[in-house]
Amino acid sequence: MFEGLTALPADPILGLSAAYQADTNPKKIDLGVGVYKDEQGNTPVLKAVKQAEVEYHNRETSKVYIGPPGSAAANELLQALIFGADHAAVSAGRVRTIQTPGGCGSLRNAAELIKKANPSATVWVSDPTWANHIPLLGNAGLAIKTYPYYDHATKRVNFSAMMDTLKDVTKGDLVLLHGCCHNPCGADLSQDQWQAIAELALQNGFTPFIDMAYQGFGEGLDQDAYGIRLLADTVPEMIVSSSCSKNFGLYRERAGALSIMYASSADADKGQSNLFSLVRGMYSMPPNHGSAIVETILGSPNLTATWHKELAEMRERIKSLRALLNQKLQEKGAEGDFSFIERQSGMFSFLGINKEQVHSLVHDYSIYLVDSSRINIAGISLANVDYLAESIVAVLKK
């Protein structure tokens, strides 16, 4: 039966890791897959996670099934992290959270629920957006359209073009927004822009759908949730897909959550029962370990303090690397203005070079990045930044 299948290309982002591993050039630099790295190029387990794992190991008495929504305590703690402690919608029982296999599992669950609630819904995604949004939402059968977002010329959000498209989006459709640290472009919405979107959503009736994969990597845990909390104060319904992969460094444990704010607690009860049914039809129940570690950290003031410190270190390292790359490019005489790298936030920015220049960086300089010229800032280090800047300056002349 399988002879009729045709071979498909691999994930272009994950594929870069294998090419990087196989490269024997001692100067090689990996700016591909978006995982945090320290100065040595490692992605260590956070201290808060290691300590929580010991505590959890000692406390765990059973491996019995966890159930479709996962841990109620973990879900409640994540609600507070995302919406803020004591948000009115949470207190009113209008926000319901389920534990999911990573942020990806959350996005896919959301897509399935949207499809069930409104089979003809269109999800509007930013141009550009994270490549995986297309299969995660589209494979559930949802129609996907794009709204203008990043202006490659100004290196900023083209907000007037964005709003000009979104003004025609109406009730029954959804607008997917990156909560912070836009992947791939690094250009985020200002507070005024969030306000304008919240007002438009309220006026037109479309449902905001927020992908929050980098809370704490931009300006801070609360600052990065500004848009979500403003929307939650303004609109009747919204969806939040969140991931613990980056901010807790739990990547392979697949810890994420789907939080839906419903118009009423009666709608919330119905929505939850549908989600449980969808989860049953896909994977029955989520993995436990990653979310149990998150629950252990967020449930302990000491571990939370350790985590906040480690998260701040990751955030500050990325910010300082942004400034450093801009400075080194200037010093080495790069043609053009790269100050946008310093201005943007989170793990990613586009270098803004063409595909041939990207290929030259990969093949001639062993600097690995995706074709779009997106770089993972965390892959830069004090040890490699000079070589990186010199190589970029060289390919800019091509």
Residue 14 partner contact from ligand TYF, ligand PLP, none using kind-dependent CB cut-offs of 5 to 8 Å? ligand TYF
**246 given a catalytic annotation:** yes
Span of 9-17, 191-199, 216-224, 384-392 interacting with ligand TYF by CB under 6 A: 9-17
Which residue is closest to ligand TYF by CB? 34
Is 186 among the residues that bind ligand TYF (CB under 6 A)? no
Which among 28, 37, 155, 246 is annotated as catalytic? 246
Quick one: 214 or 365, whose CB is closer to ligand PLP? 214
- Residues between 20 and 39 that touch ligand TYF (CB under 6 A): 33-34
* Residue 101 Cβ vs ligand PLP, minimum distance, rounded to whole Å: 7
Which among 30, 173, 188, 211 is annotated as catalytic? 211
Residue 287 partner contact from ligand PLP, ligand TYF, none using kind-dependent CB cut-offs of 5 to 8 Å? none
Distance CA 354, CA 375 (A): 13
**211 given a catalytic annotation:** yes
Quick one: 173 or 188, whose CB is closer to ligand TYF? 188
Span of 6-14, 148-156, 293-301, 330-338 interacting with ligand TYF by CB under 6 A: 6-14
Is 11 among the residues that bind ligand TYF (CB under 6 A)? yes
Buried b (16+ CB within 10 A) or exposed e, 117-134: eeeebbbbbbbbbbbebe
* Residue 104 Cβ vs ligand PLP, minimum distance, rounded to whole Å: 3
Quick one: 11 or 356, whose CB is closer to ligand TYF? 11
- Three-class SS of the chain: CHHHCCCCCCCHHHHHHHHHHHCCCCCCEECCCCCCCCCCCCCCCCHHHHHHHHHHHHHCCCCCCCCCCCCHHHHHHHHHHHHCCCCHHHHCCCEEEEEEEHHHHHHHHHHHHHHHHCCCCEEEEEECCCCCHHHHHHCCCCEEEEEECEECCCCEECHHHHHHHHCCCCCCCEEEEECCCCCCCCCCCCHHHHHHHHHHHHHHCCEEEEEECCCCCCCCHHHHCHHHHHHHHHCCCEEEEEECCCCCCCHHHCEEEEEEECCCHHHHHHHHHHHHHHHHHHCCCCCCHHHHHHHHHHCCHHHHHHHHHHHHHHHHHHHHHHHHHHHHHHHCCCCCCCHHHHHCCCCEEECCCCHHHHHHHHHHHCEECCCCCEEEHHHCCCCCHHHHHHHHHHHHCC
Quick one: 357 or 376, whose CB is closer to ligand PLP? 376
Choose, by CB under 6 A, the member of 14, 45, 312, 383 that binds ligand TYF: 14
**307 given a catalytic annotation:** no
* Residue 131 Cβ vs ligand TYF, minimum distance, rounded to whole Å: 7
Quick one: 68 or 184, whose CB is closer to ligand TYF? 184
Residue 11 partner contact from ligand TYF, ligand PLP, none using kind-dependent CB cut-offs of 5 to 8 Å? ligand TYF
- 23, 20, 50: which is closest to 35 by C-alpha? 20
Residue 291 partner contact from ligand PLP, ligand TYF, none using kind-dependent CB cut-offs of 5 to 8 Å? none
Quick one: 378 or 395, whose CB is closer to ligand PLP? 378
Pattern 104-143, ligand TYF, x by CB under 6 A: --------------------------x-x-----------
Q: Summarize as ranges the residues that interact with ligand TYF (CB under 6 A).
A: 11, 13-14, 33-34, 130, 132, 183
